[in-house]
Structure 1
Amino acid sequence: MQAALRQHLGGARWALRVSEAALRPRCVGPASPPAPRCWSCGGALPSAEGLPHFCPGCRALQPPGPRPDLFRLMDCDRSFRLDVQRLQRRFRSLQRALHPDRFGQRPPEEQHYSEQHSSLVNKAYQTLLNPLSRGLYLLELNGVEPAQETDCDADSEFLMEIMEINEKLADSDTIAVNEILRSILKMKTQSSLCKLVIFYFISDDLQEAKKLLAKMKYFANLEDKLKNKKMPS
């Protein structure tokens, strides 16, 4: 009799625990972010993070994303090896669609977004067009610290080469000599080193790519020095 009573009470307690659990709110994961909405009409927007796009309902230009992928923005593969003609076509296409002159009669918000997009497109184009800034941006996307000139300080042969070019730059006093130096520096950055950087990015050896980009920074600084050099009158 007592055993049957205990069994009955145990069953009642179990049923009570089940009913209480059903009434308690369930623990759920973090809520998904709300779907993007048009600032003008409130309509739902397609998922196009970082890309300049217009509301499908009212055709209002939407603001740029907080951290757009510049490769995606310019419709280019995320690679150091780049199709420059494709980049240029995309740049011209975006500038035609987003230039502030096209939004002179639109609301102030759209005029502002147009200026933001236009500035972003210019930045993306210049970043990806230049091999050095393109490589540095790729390192950033892959979570690698920016390349510094000190990254190649262990290469004594390279540093001797830099010293020799610096001496020639200091001694040059004619436009003809400066043009020769400019050609040498361009060849170093856009030919010899670029081919190696492509190889290391393809091989996913980001640290070696970083060292070569550091060398490219040295040559780029020399190019700037040459560009700003004042010739004797």
Structure 2
Amino acid sequence: MKNHFALFQLPQRFAIDMKALEQAYHQVQGQAHPDKFAHASDAEKRVAMQWATRANEAYQTLKNPLRRARYLCELHGVDLQTESNTSMAPTFLMQQMEWRETLDDAKAGKDIDALERLNSELTAEKKAEVARIEKLLDADDYIQAAQLVRQLMFLDKFGDEIGDAFALIEG
């Protein structure tokens, strides 16, 4: 079975041409569209549906930086150990603790401005983390990239918590 990059005929690297991904996705989806198989056998319809589902899954994985990074690590045999390896760099952990305090204070004080500042800071950090991950992955350093991917997962989850806090305060 082809990997996601091969399915869309894209180079197997983190830096990806989103327009090319989009075009390749639509091309693959067009080939497997159910309308083309309206008069086909049930088996052919099932295969077409499986291809359409696989193309959708591959597209969703490749268009999302975190999912794409995880996928590249896994393709190269690097287990992210998301359940068993929770070790993080001390500076990263300190930053997390400071952000958590800021989030707690903002929620307690219903301070939208503080949440917006925290969200902006987080967005900038996520962007920087993705850039670091891209350099490592495209240099074939999957072990080091895996550590940063785990950190990015934490940042994503924290972003969700900020979103929940906005909803709570604004709700």
Normalising TM by the smaller chain, what interval?
0.7 to 0.9
Distance 1:180 1:92 in 2: 38
- Report the secondary structure of 1:231's partner residue: helix
Q: What one-letter code is carried by the residue in structure 2 that aligns with 1:112?
A: R
Q: For residues 112 and 154 of structure 1, do their structure 2 counterparts lie closer, same or farther at Cα, with a shift above 3 Å needed? A: closer
Distance 2:40 2:115 in 1: 50
Equivalent residue for 1:121? 55
Equivalent residue for 1:195? 131
Distance 1:72 1:159 in 2: 37
Distance 1:98 1:178 in 2: 44
Quick one: which of 96, 119, 123 aligns to 1:186? 123
Computing the radius of gyration from Cα coordinates, the structure with the larger value is: 1
Equivalent residue for 1:41? none
Quick one: which of 5, 15, 19 aligns to 1:85? 19
Q: What are structure 2's unaligned runs of at least 5 residues?
A: none
Equivalent residue for 1:27? none
Distance 1:184 1:72 in 2: 36
Distance 1:178 1:120 in 2: 38
User: Which is richer in helix?
Assistant: 2
Q: What one-letter code is carried by the residue in structure 2 that aligns with 1:102?
A: K
Q: For residues 122 and 161 of structure 1, do their structure 2 counterparts lie closer, same or farther at Cα, with a shift above 3 Å needed? A: same
- Report the secondary structure of 2:168's partner residue: coil
Distance 1:177 1:89 in 2: 40
Q: What are structure 1's unaligned runs of at least 5 residues?
A: 1-49, 51-67
Is the Cα contact below 8 Å between 2:122 and 2:159 reproduced in 1?
yes
Equivalent residue for 2:161? 225
When the two chains are superposed, the root-mean-square deviation of aligned CA atoms in Å is 2.3
TM-score between the two structures when normalised by the length of structure 2:
0.83
Distance 1:89 1:176 in 2: 40
Distance 1:224 1:163 in 2: 16
Equivalent residue for 1:44? none
Quick one: which of 57, 68, 73 aligns to 2:7? 73
Distance 2:92 2:31 in 1: 46
String of CA shifts for 1:101-145, please: whole Å, max 9, x gaps. 332222111211111111111110111111111111111111111
- 1 or 2 for the larger relative contact order (CA 8 Å, sep ≥6)? 2
String of CA shifts for 1:173-209, please: whole Å, max 9, x gaps. 35555444444333322x2112211222233222211
TM-score between the two structures when normalised by the length of structure 1:
0.63
- 1:224 deviates by 2.4
Equivalent residue for 1:206? 142
- 1:225 deviates by 2.4
Distance 2:113 2:56 in 1: 33
Count residues in correspondence.
166
Is the Cα contact below 8 Å between 1:149 and 1:215 reproduced in 2?
no
Distance 2:133 2:98 in 1: 24
- Report the secondary structure of 1:75's partner residue: coil
Q: What one-letter code is carried by the residue in structure 2 that aligns with 1:188?
A: E
Does residue 216 in structure 1 map to residue 165 in structure 2?
no
